């Protein structure tokens, strides 16, 4: 495929990316727009940052809208699906990227139980509710793609509080994604991204010990970037991935355990 064809592969489509005012969600949104998609940006409260992403998308000639919604609220999840669909007329791909931040302030100051509740509210319950809501609409419309966000360590485990928290929540998302793929086939494809060590806001301030571990455990000897995840997301929602569904795709540089 030529570079021009790749850039236009999503021409005429609309994507929704939750949690897309920064980090991985921002990179996914920009990557989809670069391939021709119009994008609906979602955030809970970071309106200025979200509008900044939307502005970048408009500069490359694509449409962009921002919708605020607190995904801890089931009613807000339903409203997000309804508004996104009504504003665009149709949603071709939906990426559930939003997750509770329990690694950086103020989330990292919560107790273990509070972190667990936050992760299950946003990462698990909201992902399930949004996926089912938009999946029903996509199937009735005749097609679509849903991407969820897992974790490459969910099945193998990692020591410590964070390992326990994320393995529990992300394993649930990964298992749900496989079942949803069965429920929505053949009209709707459902896959799950499973990033490893990605240089997000937490990684920027991580200690030397974590910096060394991340590079050591990757066969490629480096942290992954949000753009690495975005490139895989862009492929999976494209026609080029038309025979892929029910898959867990690990984006971890071939991480060594």
Domains of the chain listed by start with CATH number = 3-251 (3.40.50.720)
Residue 219 above 80 pLDDT? Answer: yes
pLDDT at 112: 97
Question: Does residue 141 surpass a pLDDT of 70?
Answer: yes
Sign of CA dihedral 78, 79, 82, 83: negative
Tens of pLDDT, residues 59-75: 999 999 999 999 999 99
pLDDT at 214: 87
Give the rounded percent of residues in the chain with a pLDDT score beyond 90: 87
Give the residue from 172, 173, 170, 188 showing the smallest Cα distance to 245: 188
- Which comes out higher in pLDDT, residue 214 or 54? 54
For residue 43, what pLDDT band results from cuts at 50, 70 and 90? Answer: very high
User: How do residues 16-42 score in pLDDT, each as one tens digit?
Assistant: 999 999 999 999 999 999 999 999 999
Tokens of 102: 């329990």
Q: What is residue 8's predicted lDDT score, i.e. its pLDDT?
A: 82
Q: What is the mean pLDDT of residues 189-195?
A: 98
This prediction's pTM: 0.94
pLDDT at 257: 64
Contact predicate 152/194, CB 8 Å: yes
Q: Which residues contact 242 (CB under 8 A, 6 or more apart)?
A: 189
> Residue 144 — φ and ψ, nearest 5°?
160, 175
What does the pLDDT read at residue 211?
Answer: 87
* % residues pLDDT > 70 (the chain): 97
Residues 6+ apart with CB under 8 A from 250: 152, 194, 195, 196
Whether the CB-CB separation of 23 and 103 falls below 8 Å is answered with no
Average of pLDDT values for 104-113?
Answer: 94
* β-sheet with 14-17: strand ranges across: 64-68, 38-43, 14-17, 93-96, 144-149, 188-195, 248-251
- What is the structure's pLDDT at 4? 54
Split at pLDDT 50, 70, 90, the class of 230 is: very high
Which pLDDT belongs to residue 202? 81
Residue 150 has φ and ψ, to the nearest 5°, of: -105, -145
CA atoms within 13 A on the CB side of 56: 18
């Amino acid at each position: 495929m030529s570079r021009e064809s790749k850039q236009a592969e999503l021409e005429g489509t609309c994507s929704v990316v939750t949690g897309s005012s920064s980090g991985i969600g921002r990179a996914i949104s920009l990557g989809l727009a670069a391939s021709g998609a119009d994008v609906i940006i979602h955030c809970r409260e970071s309106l200025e940052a979200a509008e900044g992403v939307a502005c970048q998308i408009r500069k490359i000639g694509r449409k962009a809208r921002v919708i605020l919604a607190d995904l801890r609220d089931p009613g807000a999840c339903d409203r997000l699906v309804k508004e996104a669909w009504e504003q665009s007329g149709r949603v071709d791909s939906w990426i559930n990227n939003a997750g509770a931040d329990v690694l950086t302030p103020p989330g990292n100051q919560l107790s273990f139980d509070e972190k667990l509740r936050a992760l299950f509210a946003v990462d698990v319950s909201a992902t399930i509710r949004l996926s089912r809501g938009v999946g029903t609409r996509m199937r009735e419309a005749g097609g679509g793609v849903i991407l969820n966000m897992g974790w490459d360590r969910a099945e193998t485990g990692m020591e410590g509080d964070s390992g326990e928290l994320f393995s529990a929540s992300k394993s649930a998302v990964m298992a749900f994604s496989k079942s949803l793929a069965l429920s929505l086939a053949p009209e709707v494809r459902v896959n799950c991204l499973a990033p490893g060590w990605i240089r997000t806001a937490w990684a920027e301030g991580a200690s030397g010990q974590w910096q060394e571990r991340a590079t050591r455990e990757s066969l490629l000897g480096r942290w992954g970037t949000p753009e690495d995840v975005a490139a895989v997301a862009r492929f999976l929602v494209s026609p080029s991935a038309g025979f892929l569904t029910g898959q867990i795709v690990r984006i971890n540089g071939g991480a060594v355990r």
